[in-house]
Amino acid sequence: MDVRGELSEFLKSRRARLRPEDVGLPRYAGQRRVPGLRREELSLLAGVSVAHYTRLEQGHTENVSADVLDAIARTLRLDDDERAYLHRLAHAAAGSRPSRPAAAAAAIRLRPGLQRMLDSLDRTPVFVLGHHTDIVAWNRAAAALLDLAAVPAGRRTWSHQVFLSADFKGMLGDGWAEFARAHVSYLRVLLARNPGDARLQAHIAAMRTASADFRQVWGEQSVSTWSGRDYVFTHPVVGRLELSGETMLLPADAELSELELLVAEPGSPSAAGLHRLIAESDRKASAELG
């Protein structure tokens, strides 16, 4: 990853979204050459020199303190996720170490205890994720929701589902754009946390090549963590499903990242629909076995 380039584009994008009147400066009557705040205006508000900020926006972070980054974050009105992203990029740019070579993806065998937990949650879709949005394993409820077994292993990632699966996009309907933006925002968080992860870089580069939608959303420079999100699917078999996403980290499993659980409210139409969907999936599986 070109960390300095990412830092530069991120700061420019956040500067461009603010108008002088947004931060208490008088409205500019003439024509501004660029949208948003000028570097001079931002520097004045943040209490840093123009030269110091300019070097930061060019990706040079060797002498930038955490206090200066916080002052710039406050001036740019960054939220907590964006502030953390700025600090991570600045830290990574100061290190400027080369990326680690990309290792080939290997088959992952779940621990017996983790596999038992996955199997026991037979009424809740659960996905086991790796570090590159790859969907490593899933349970029978998840299989009823998404036919991942039919997807080639190399395309079995959330990125591919969101941007290259017409079926998944159709189930999301009007919520697709928000879901897609949230997914790409989280990829940026992952990339800032692991700037030397060549597999993650290669995954993002491949998605930028494969999907014009991905390229567009990636260019927005949005940043946010992924936790506690709600899902609304329109499934072709049972219709509308409103599910709450919950994330469980897996710190004891070095090759894994987290569990993603999709939970329906007990007694709700979505819970009933999910149960019907699982039952229909089980019926088909039994019929195929003979």
Write the DSSP assignment of 28-74 as a string of letters: P-S--SSSS--HHHHHHHHTS-HHHHHHHHTT--TT--HHHHHHHHH
Comparing CA positions, the residue from 215, 246, 214, 234 lying closest to residue 277 is: 234
| 139 close to 110: Cβ distance less than 8 angstroms | no
Identify the pLDDT of residue 29.
Answer: 57
Of the pLDDT bands very low, low, confident and very high (cuts 50, 70, 90), residue 290 is low
Instruction: Quote the pTM value.
Output: 0.80
Identify the pLDDT of residue 288.
Answer: 75
Distance between CA atoms of 266 and 287, rounded to whole angstroms? 29
Mean pLDDT comparison of 21-25, 45-49, 188-192, 268-272, highest-scoring range? 268-272
| DSSP structure class, residue 26 | P
* Mean pLDDT, all residues of the chain: 87
Q: ∠ CA(194), CA(196), CA(197), 5° rounding?
A: 70
> Which tens digits make up the pLDDT trace of 161-213?
999 999 999 999 999 999 999 999 999 988 888 877 888 989 999 999 999 99
> Which tens digits make up the pLDDT trace of 131-171?
888 999 999 999 999 988 888 888 999 999 999 999 999 99
> Is the pLDDT confidence value at 103 over 70?
no
Query: Looking at this protein, which amino acid is placed at residue 168?
Result: F
> Is the pLDDT confidence value at 230 over 60?
yes
> Which tens digits make up the pLDDT trace of 60-90?
888 788 999 999 999 999 998 899 899 988 8
Identify the pLDDT of residue 18.
Answer: 85
> Which tens digits make up the pLDDT trace of 245-261?
988 888 888 889 889 99
